[in-house]
């Protein structure tokens, strides 16, 4: 699956997220460009990133920083 993520770095929060099937890569790339252009026109500096993962849980594992707060980022280290 593809995940289009709009992330506000300064506050460390995801502002929007949209998923696409793996077969819709061009559609996802188009959506990424559209979002980036729209944010630029509004003068908003958010990170726009397209990621590909098996599912949401895989995405949360490898890119936890987008989704987790400091309090939960390193939980379960020793497990």
Partner 1 sequence: MQQGFAKSQIDRLGERLRSGEVSEADLLLLDQYRRSFQGPYEAVVGVVRTRMDLQPTGRPAKSTSAIRDKLQRESIRLSQMQDIAGCRLVVADVHVQDAVVDVLRMSLNVGSIVDRRLKPSHGYRSVHLVAMHDGRPIEIQIRTRLQHVWAELSEKAADVIDPSIKYGGGPEAIRSLLDQASVAVMSQEKLTTMHADVQQRLAAVHAQRGQAEHDESELAELRSELIEVGQAVAQGYEALEAVLLRAMATMSDWEWEE
C-beta of 77: minimal distance to partner 1 in Å? Answer: 5
The footprint of partner 1 on residues 20-49 (CB under 8 A) is 25, 29, 32-33, 36-37, 40, 45-49
Strands (E), the chain: 2-8, 13-20, 47-52
- From the list 54, 2, 53, the residue with the least C-alpha distance to 23 is 2
The distance in angstroms from the start CA to the end CA of the chain is 28
Options 12, 16, 27, 44; binder of partner 1; rule CB under 8 A? 12
- Shorter beta-carbon distance to partner 1: residue 42 or 62: 62
């Amino acid at each position: 699956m593809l995940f289009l993520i709009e992330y506000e770095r300064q506050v460390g929060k995801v502002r929007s997220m949209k998923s696409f099937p793996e077969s819709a890569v061009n559609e996802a790339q188009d959506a990424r460009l559209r979002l980036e252009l729209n944010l630029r026109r509004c003068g908003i500096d958010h990170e726009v990133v397209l990621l590909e993962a098996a599912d949401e849980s895989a995405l949360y594992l490898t890119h936890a920083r987008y989704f987790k707060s400091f309090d939960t980022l390193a939980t379960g280290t020793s497990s």
